Structure 1
Amino acid sequence: MELTHRFVTANGVRMHVAEQGAGYPVIFCHGFPHTWFIWHHQLAAVAAAGYRAIAPDLRGYGQTDAPADIDSYTNRAVIGDLLALLDDIGAEQAVFVGLDFGAALVWELALRAPERVRGVIVLNNPFAPRPPRAPSQLWAKAAARHFLHLHYFQQPGVADAELAARPRDFLARVYYSLSADYHYLDTWQFPAEGTGYLDVLPEAPPLPWRWLTEAEFDTLAAEFERTGFTGGLNWYRALDRNWELAADYADASVTVPAYFVYGDHDPDMEGFSGRDPLATLRASVPDLRAVTEIADAGHLVQLERAGEVGALLTAHLRELVTDTSEVPA
């Protein structure tokens, strides 16, 4: 049950991986601004239930390589990392768990390589079909009315410098603002012109919080103090390229077994996923087996309600993998 760390070199990058437990593989994919550590509660819970819990630092984050080229951060490129990780552990399939960018990643993995996916468990970011226009066009239109981080992050070097100058302050503010303790869409009250991200984010209360200890925050912050944020920001800058590369999947459905979990105060569900995200999800994912809303939780639901999320994951895994000792070959 000990948590271990190692590196996998494949698909052109050296990837840091945290692992705990033994049995059927369950691969956790984080978002921005996170590292593998955002899943540490769930790694322990899933390992205790008899599975091999695996959480990589995705490319651009933590101890994993951060290529300079924006095209290196497309979903197609990072899916290559995940498939290489499967090959490294000798598994034909795994269950994939995703949040934020990690959610979009595992949804697209299920489209591109369904034969490698036993099932997906996605937090807060529902599947939606490819939009008719490039994402940056939609963000520019919104940014004409109010500040929008998606638009602000597009210019290389701008947000990078702002956030790297005050990494701990930024992380505390953004984690707090995305939680159920704040209403993230209040950041839309600010104009886009001449505004930085720290100008719109609220002051964070002193740690510890009810769902985040000082030690946990220090672990997350230390990595970004060392690396900066450019690797993570490049995922935003690759979103138009993702849109181009997904043209062949514009009308595709996700056919693998899927489970969806979301916080009742999640800002993505409120403001970034369309007018009726659950209806769209159900229409596009025919083998959607359960949708669970978790009360008093925001975008960091796996930290805010760690026990509930761990219990849900293990329940869903028991449905997907009846023999926990099974290792797909």
Structure 2
Amino acid sequence: MHIESRRTPTARVTQNVLSVAGGGDAGGETVVLVHGNVSSAVFWRGTMLALAEAGHRPLAVDLRGFGDTDPAPVDATRGLRDYSDDLLALLDSLGLDGVHLVGWSMGGGVVLQALRDRPAAVRSVTLVNPISPYGFGGTHGADGALNHPDGTGGGAGGANPEFVKRLAAGDTSADSPVSPRSVLRSSYVKPGTKIEDEDEDAFVASMLSTRTGDDHYPGDTVASGEWPGVAPGTRGVLNAFAPTHFRLDDLHTIDPKPPILWIRGEDDVIVSDTSLFDLAHLGALGVVPGSPGTPAQPMITQTRAALERYGSYTEVVLDCGHSPHIERPAEFRAALTGHLKRS
């Protein structure tokens, strides 16, 4: 078996889709895998091969502005709907219905938005270390209340400018703690996790496929008079899942409600109740000066509260960081395939 790549025209953008050839069951149930921020479908290759061996038909898509999908600009005022509408357009183009959706990190928000907007098209959902249903940064409490009306603390202003610079320059080194390779080693996976050299190089290349700028990553920045001085803009990736633009308060109202599996790493430093990428938590640690005591966003608590209202979900916690499918592949695949069989 091997992975094939094909650019697929849709009613919105031409999207790059990975599939498995030379094995598996082409007639099996379709599982569509959606990657996270600063990555691409390449991060799903091992999962795809395992799913094909189990008789499923896995497809992994590059979101707009990542991998080999068209770099169409991101209108952040629509939340994550530029991405989720692209995903639904891909399903339409391929004539797919009743699919299993799997979303990692930002991709978890994308598949939840697709579920919210077209629940009848979804047979099951698997969330892998997903962003909170109330976005990333700028909220507090289990119900995602805004810290300030303008969403201060969320959006593109939270990006590390040196990381963005190195990403844009195609830096493959590990000579800085904020180079893409170093961030992969320290934050995408639990520090000390062994990644084979060939895989690591592929993952770094995947990260470097991210388009940068105001229309892409991280997006446009807006000043705020409230601490920490930045608020969500209207364009680009990080603004698309800022709390003023992306909120799924009513996910529990959809009908039908396909089952949701939530898989997360217990040592995730990106999506956490004490995220090292949350300006509020960095303020509490003294890394970002001047904090007035703004609490960290309780991302895990928020997701659990939303899923408890939804009702039909299972939570699985693994001993790993932000990428269970990379760090704990056997346990991850067992949980995923079990969920698919039950759905």
Whether the 8 Å CA contact 2:126–2:336 is kept in 1: the answer is: yes
SS of the aligned residue for 1:212 comes to coil
Residues 1:14 and 2:6 are matched in the alignment: no
Deviates more, 1:116-125 or 1:160-169: 160-169
Shift of 1:82: 1.2
Shift of 1:78: 1.5
- Kindly provide the amino acid, as one letter, of the partner of residue 84 in structure 1: A
Counterparts in 2 of 1:282 and 1:13: CA distance versus 1, 3 Å: closer
Shift of 1:113: 0.9
Q: Which runs of 4+ in 1 moved over 6 A?
A: none
How do residues 252-263 of structure 1 correspond to structure 2 at under 5 angstroms? 252-253=251-252, 255-263=257-265
Distance 1:46 1:314 in 2: 7
Aligned to 1:292: 316
Shift of 1:294: 0.7
Shift of 1:55: 0.3
How do residues 260-275 of structure 1 correspond to structure 2 at under 5 angstroms? 260-267=262-269, 268-271=271-274, 272-274=297-299
Which digits, 9 at most, give the CA deviation of each residue in 1:204-250, with x for residues without a partner?
A: xxxxx74312211222333454665443432112234x74475xx53
Q: How many residues align?
A: 279
Residues 1:251 and 2:250 are matched in the alignment: yes
Q: Pick from 205, 208, 215: which aligns with 1:222?
A: 205
Aligned to 1:131: 144
Counterparts in 2 of 1:126 and 1:282: CA distance versus 1, 3 Å: farther
Residues 1:4 and 2:7 are matched in the alignment: no
How do residues 232-251 of structure 1 correspond to structure 2 at under 5 angstroms? 232-233=217-218, 234-240=236-242, 243-244=244-245, 246=247, 250-251=249-250
Report the TM-score when normalising by structure 1. Answer: 0.74
Deviates more, 1:37-46 or 1:169-178: 169-178
Which digits, 9 at most, give the CA deviation of each residue in 1:240-269, with x for residues without a partner?
A: 4x74475xx533416321011111101213
SS of the aligned residue for 2:110 comes to helix
Whether the 8 Å CA contact 2:30–2:99 is kept in 1: the answer is: yes
- Kindly provide the amino acid, as one letter, of the partner of residue 165 in structure 2: A
- For structure 1, the 5+ residue unaligned runs are 141-148, 183-208, 321-329
Counterparts in 2 of 1:33 and 1:45: CA distance versus 1, 3 Å: same
Which digits, 9 at most, give the CA deviation of each residue in 1:176-231, with x for residues without a partner?
A: 2215644xxxxxxxxxxxxxxxxxxxxxxxxxx74312211222333454665443
Residues 1:66 and 2:89 are matched in the alignment: no
Whether the 8 Å CA contact 1:265–1:298 is kept in 2: the answer is: yes
Whether the 8 Å CA contact 2:251–2:306 is kept in 1: the answer is: no
SS of the aligned residue for 1:10 comes to coil
Aligned to 2:39: 34
Distance 1:245 1:280 in 2: 17
Distance 2:32 2:209 in 1: 25
Report the TM-score when normalising by structure 2. Answer: 0.72
Counterparts in 2 of 1:32 and 1:305: CA distance versus 1, 3 Å: same
How do residues 1-329 of structure 1 correspond to structure 2 at under 5 angstroms? 1-20=1-20, 21=24, 22=26, 23-71=28-76, 74-125=79-130, 128=133, 131-133=144-146, 137-139=151-153, 151-153=157-159, 160-165=164-169, 167-169=171-173, 170-179=179-188, 181-182=190-191, 210-225=193-208, 228-230=211-213, 231-233=216-218, 234-240=236-242, 243-244=244-245, 246=247, 250-253=249-252, 255-267=257-269, 268-271=271-274, 272-274=297-299, 276-277=301-302, 279-288=304-313, 290-295=314-319, 297-320=320-343
Shift of 1:152: 2.8
Which digits, 9 at most, give the CA deviation of each residue in 1:11-46, with x for residues without a partner?
A: 331110001242111000111221101111110111
SS of the aligned residue for 1:276 comes to helix
Using CA pairs under 8 Å that are at least 6 residues apart, name the structure with larger relative contact order, 1 or 2.
Answer: 1
Shift of 1:276: 2.9
Which digits, 9 at most, give the CA deviation of each residue in 1:108-136, with x for residues without a partner?
A: 11111101111101111265457343796
Distance 1:104 1:162 in 2: 26
SS of the aligned residue for 2:39 comes to coil
Whether the 8 Å CA contact 1:41–1:310 is kept in 2: the answer is: no
Distance 1:251 1:235 in 2: 23
Whether the 8 Å CA contact 1:126–1:260 is kept in 2: the answer is: no
CA RMSD, aligned part only? Answer: 2.9
SS of the aligned residue for 1:237 comes to helix
Identity of aligned residues (%): 24
SS of the aligned residue for 2:68 comes to coil
Which digits, 9 at most, give the CA deviation of each residue in 1:55-85, with x for residues without a partner?
A: 0111110111112354498421222211122
